A and B are shown apart, each in its own frame.
Chain A
Amino acid sequence: MNTMVKMDAPAKEITLQHGVKVVARDVSVYYGEKRALFDINLDIRERSITALIGPSGCGKSTFLRCLNRMNDTIPIARVTGRIEIDGRDIYDPELDVVQLRANVGMVFQKPNPFPKSIYENVAYGPRIHGMAQSKADLDSVVELSLRRAGLFEEVKDRLADSGTSLSGGQQQRLCIARAIAVNPEIILMDEPCSALDPIATAKIEELMDELRQNYTIVIVTHSMQQAARVSQQTAFFHLGILVECGTTVNMFTTPTDKRTQDYITGRFG
């Protein structure tokens, strides 16, 4: 009798073909006197989904926001340690932060389309980054981005309508299309489905599974089931410490740390 549950279907499993895209070494974050992250060391693999999980206030969102220097916008926040993307230190003073944030797109918890047309929501980024030479260029970038976000068929006849007229799930996919439009390599998602109903959530998850062919995705989620469903790699944070990181298959079947086990099985605190 073979009692081993074989869950790692090859396509879902992270393999050595996935190079390391993001390297974090001894990353700590302070908000004034308060230390929010303690010496985080984490490798994020390219073209795969890495889930950051942990109870509220554990530092997972803080860590996510380090990856595109969103913490720079908080005056009292201070980041130490080293974060590299493709070997390049992203906290290098020479680095163009605007370019970094185009390369590392972000999708937030609440869909936040601009109060503009669906078309303009997607076209805005490519236009300010000078990525389209003509109206035809821009049209094709908008269409491609909406297609990749799985939204084009639903909105193609009303591109001039306001982005805010869409449903919550559609708005979130519009925000993903907006992030994709500037041709990023990495997409950060901070609880992208927590304001969505189950069907809209399933559509986003399906989309993430397609996007990971071309993008490196890092997602913060409170839903353990979502982390287990969509990600290949999972990192568990607790009290500002990275407790355990590993393949999602192992993290949700045989975690090694008792704190991880207690958290994923709903025994925390």
Chain B
Amino acid sequence: MTMMSEHTAKAFDVDLQELSRMVAEMGGRAEKLIADSVDALAKRDGERAKRVIAADVAIDQLQREIEDRAVLTIARRQPMAVDLRAIVSALRIASDLERIGDLAKNIAKRVVPITGDFHPQRLLRGVEHMATLVLAQLKLVLDSYARRDVAKALAVWRGDEEIDAICTSLFRELLTYMMEDPRNITFCIHLMFCAKNIERMGDHATNVAETVYFMVEGHSIVDERPKGDTLAALATER
């Protein structure tokens, strides 16, 4: 999409640019939170986990600021068409990013309870791999937002399948460890929630992709999204 020309009222452009900047900042903070929480989990670094939990507050604060600014801009400018979609999209994306922050915080909260000697590196590698993929998705979708790039947004929207597939195979593996030795259950359950949280982050990234598409095109994506059906795949395990 070509860049829009400027508004006659320059202050309106400033409002819209500031909203985009705040969303970008929120996105950057969410990325860092994901990386830090998974790192803390892999290294069982309790101090780092605490910092993640504390850092989530800043993301929540940014979301409130975006909401305030968006409401004020709507009241002041009565935006139409592409401008209205830009503001509504900032609100939506902010709420997805806020959820991503919460999910990262949730992972960080599980770092301390996971103690003991049973920590198969292979499982942790799996979770880390998922996180790497989600981070790539999030980076791409934030880029698509900044550049109003529909092609990138669609790539993110279609790219969620792989994360779901890894999540499913990780579930399978965790089940076998739990059946092997009930003492593994606590660790495995925690890790299962972490994997699920990362998988949910991926879903929020695809929500953002849908919002970017809507913002640019003025209508929602009509295509059917490819999905790996996690629950059905697990049912065959029995």
Query: Footprint of B on A, CB under 8 Å?
Result: 1-5, 224-225, 228, 252-255, 261-262, 264-269
Is A3 touching B6 in the complex (CB atoms < 8 A)?
Answer: no
Q: CB-nearest residue of chain B relative to A263?
A: B80
> Is B172 part of the contact surface with A, judged by Cβ < 8 Å?
no
CB of A181, distance to nearest CB on chain B (Å): 35
Q: Is the CB of A267 within 8 A of B8?
A: yes
| Chain B residues in 8 Å Cβ range of A268 | 8
Q: Are A265 and B220 neighbours in the complex by a CB distance under 8 Å?
A: no
Some 27 contacts from A to B, beta carbons below 8 A apart, are A1-B207, A3-B210, A3-B211, A3-B213, A3-B214, A3-B220, A3-B221, A4-B219, A4-B220, A5-B88, A224-B78, A225-B78, A228-B80, A252-B80, A253-B80, A253-B81, A253-B84, A254-B219, A264-B81, A265-B4, A265-B7, A266-B7, A266-B8, A267-B4, A267-B7, A267-B8, A268-B8
A267 to B6, CA, bound (A): 6
Give me 12 other A-B pairs in contact (C-beta within 8 A), A253-B218, A266-B12 excluded. A3-B219, A4-B214, A228-B80, A252-B80, A253-B80, A254-B81, A264-B81, A265-B81, A265-B83, A266-B80, A267-B4, A269-B8
Q: Which residues of B contact A261 (CB under 8 A)?
A: 81-82
* Cα(A265)–Cα(B7), bound, Å: 8
Q: Let me know if B219 and A266 touch, CB within 8 A.
A: no
Indicate if B236 sits at the interface (CB-CB under 8 A). Answer: no
Q: Cα distance A107–B81 when bound, in Å?
A: 30
Residues of the A chain whose Cβ atoms lie less than 8 Å from the Cβ of B214? 3-4
A225→B80 CA distance, assembly (Å): 9
A-B contact count (CB 8 A): 55
Size of interface on B: residues with Cβ below 8 Å to A: 26
**Nearest CB of A to B21, in Å:** 20
Q: Specify the chain B residue showing the minimal Cβ separation from A228.
A: B80
The answer to whether B210 touches A265, judged by C-beta atoms less than 8 angstroms apart, is: no
* CA of A253 to CA of B5, assembled, Å: 18
Task: List residues of chain A with CB within 8 A of the CB of B210.
Answer: 1, 3
Q: Choose one: B82, B207, B213, B221; the contact of A265 (CB below 8 Å).
A: B82
B113 interface residue per 8 A CB criterion: no
Closest A residue, CB atoms, query B217: A254
- Distance in Å: Cβ of A234 to nearest Cβ of chain B: 11
B232 on the interface (CB 8 Å rule)? Answer: no
A265 touches B219 (CB 8 A): no
Q: Which residue of A lies closest to B84 (CB)?
A: A253
- Minimum distance in angstroms from B97 CB to a CB of chain A: 15
How far apart sit A228 and B83, CA to CA, in the bound complex (Å)?
Answer: 15
**A1 surroundings in chain B (CB, below 8 A):** 207, 210
Kindly provide the distance from the CB of B94 to the nearest chain A CB, expressed in whole angstroms.
Answer: 15
B231 within 8 A of A: no
Contact status B220-A267, CB under 8 Å: no
Which residues, 81 to 131 on B, are CB-close (under 8 Å) to A? Answer: 81-85, 88
Type the 1/0 row for B64-90, where 1 means its CB is closer than 8 Å to any CB of A. Answer: 000000000000011111111100100
Flag if B80 contacts A265 (CB, 8 Å). yes
Q: Whose C-beta in chain A lies nearest to the C-beta of B203?
A: A1
Does B179 make an interface contact (CB < 8 A)? no
Bound Cα distance A228, B77 (Å): 15
Contact of A255 among B78, B81, B88, B211 (CB under 8 A): B81
Ranked nearest first, the 5 interchain pairs of A and B with the lowest CB-CB distance are: A254-B218, A3-B220, A3-B214, A4-B220, A264-B80
With an 8 A cutoff between CB atoms, is B9 at the interface?
yes
- In the complex, A1 Cα to B77 Cα: how many Å? 28
A97 to B165 Cα, complex, angstroms? 75
User: Which residue of A4, A254, A267 has the most chain B CB atoms within 10 A of its CB atom?
Assistant: A267
In the complex, what distance in Å separates the CA atom of A253 from the CA atom of B8? 19
> In the complex, A252→B219 CA distance in Å?
13
Alpha-carbon gap, A5 to B92, bound state (A)? 13
Tell me the B190-237 residues at the A interface (CB within 8 Å): 207, 210-211, 213-214, 218-221
Closest residue to A255 on the B side, CB-wise? B81
Beta-carbon nearest neighbor of A253 in chain B: B81
Q: Which residues of A contact B207 (CB under 8 A)?
A: 1
Nearest chain A residue, comparing its CB with the CB of B77: A266
Pick from A5, A254, A262, A264: contact of B5, CB under 8 Å: A262
Contacts of B5 in A (CB 8 A): 262, 267
**Chain A residue contacts of B221, Cβ below 8 A:** 3
